[in-house]
């Protein structure tokens, strides 16, 4: 079972991945909370900016239900790169340096190429999901697109569009799983080490393969907390996004030796 991944490690010179217990994501959250508390101004600056951008995107998509659902799921796809500044705060804090919002941005300049390339990959995944989402609506949804206020009740909860709901959730889950596996530790690694995006993505895939239970719990925590943020009309994101960003740094630091 591990042989293909051992070959990957040798070919891409991947770091060794630690095997961790299923409870570790809870400790990553605790460590992320400590980072956020000790760098509150810089962390919340990112939270406010990302929450405001998310609110603007969702407001724009509010009149287009299929685009609205894509925008929500797309938030998860672009999250790893959007949180890059938070990883840099945790990296500098770990080294004992004082961190400011502008200081974290300056710290990212040396990693601009890798972040841009990985961001392009995530952008392509997001655009692809938007197109696939539109096709799924065209193929499986045989009614008029409902008004957003009744959209989830009439489409997802009524039981009248089971084939559409099943196709939408299955395809969305496959794309989300692939992107999560390739990116969950990739961006922190690009910031922390001199590696290319393929090496970072393969190392991330290896981390998920070695720790399926812990990473499944971590994915569920991310989805749950981001859902809370959406339920509060993005207000909760001001705190939850920095928390997840800092916690993701600690996940990377524990998983990658």
What distance in Å separates the CA atoms of residue 48 and residue 56, rounded to the nearest whole number?
A: 12
* pLDDT of amino acid 153: 67
Signed CA dihedral, 123, 124, 127, 133: sign only: negative
Give the three-class secondary structure for 96. coil
Domain ranges for the chain = 23-143+151-256
pLDDT at 233: 85
pLDDT at 1: 47
Pure H helices in 141-236: 148-151, 162-183, 186-192, 197-210, 212-231
Which two structure tokens, joined as six digits, stand for 73?
A: 């799921």
Q: What per-residue confidence (pLDDT) applies to 186?
A: 95
- What's the pLDDT at 130? 82
Distance separating alpha carbons of residues 218 and 6, to the nearest angstrom: 24
Tokens of 60: 């724009």
Per-residue pLDDT of the chain (257 residues; tens, 9 = 90+): 455 555 555 555 788 899 999 999 999 999 999 999 999 999 999 999 999 988 888 887 776 666 777 777 777 788 888 899 999 999 999 999 888 999 999 999 888 899 999 999 988 988 888 888 888 877 766 655 555 556 666 666 666 667 777 888 888 889 889 999 999 999 999 999 989 999 999 999 999 999 999 999 999 999 999 989 888 888 999 999 999 999 999 999 999 97
Write out the DSSP string of 133-154.
Answer: HHHHHHHH--SPPPPHHHHIII
- The CB-side HSE value for 224 (13 A sphere, CA atoms) comes to 6
């Amino acid at each position: 079972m591990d042989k293909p991944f051992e070959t990957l490690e040798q070919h891409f010179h991947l770091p060794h991945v630690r095997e961790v217990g299923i409870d570790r994501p809870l400790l990553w959250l605790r460590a992320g909370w400590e980072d956020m508390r000790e760098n509150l101004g810089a962390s919340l600056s990112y939270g406010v900016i990302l929450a405001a951008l998310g609110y603007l995107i969702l407001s724009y998509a509010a009149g287009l239900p299929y685009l609205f659902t894509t925008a929500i799921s797309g938030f998860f796809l672009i999250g790893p790169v959007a949180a890059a500044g938070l990883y840099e705060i945790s990296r500098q804090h770990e080294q004992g340096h004082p961190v400011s919002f502008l200081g974290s941005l300056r710290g990212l300049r040396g990693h601009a190429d890798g972040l841009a390339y990985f961001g392009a990959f995530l952008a392509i995944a997001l655009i692809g999901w938007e197109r696939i989402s539109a096709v799924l609506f065209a193929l499986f949804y045989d009614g008029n697109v409902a008004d957003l206020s009744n959209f989830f009740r009439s489409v997802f909860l009524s039981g009248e569009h089971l084939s559409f709901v099943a196709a939408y959730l299955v395809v969305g889950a496959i794309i989300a799983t692939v992107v999560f596996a390739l990116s969950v530790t990739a961006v922190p690694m690009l910031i922390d080490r001199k590696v290319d995006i393929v090496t970072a993505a393969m190392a991330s895939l290896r981390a998920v393969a070695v720790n399926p239970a812990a990473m499944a719990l971590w994915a569920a925590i991310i989805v749950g907390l981001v859902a809370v943020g959406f339920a509060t009309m993005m207000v909760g994101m001001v705190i939850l996004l920095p928390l997840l960003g800092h916690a993701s740094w600690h996940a990377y630091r524990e998983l990658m030796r």
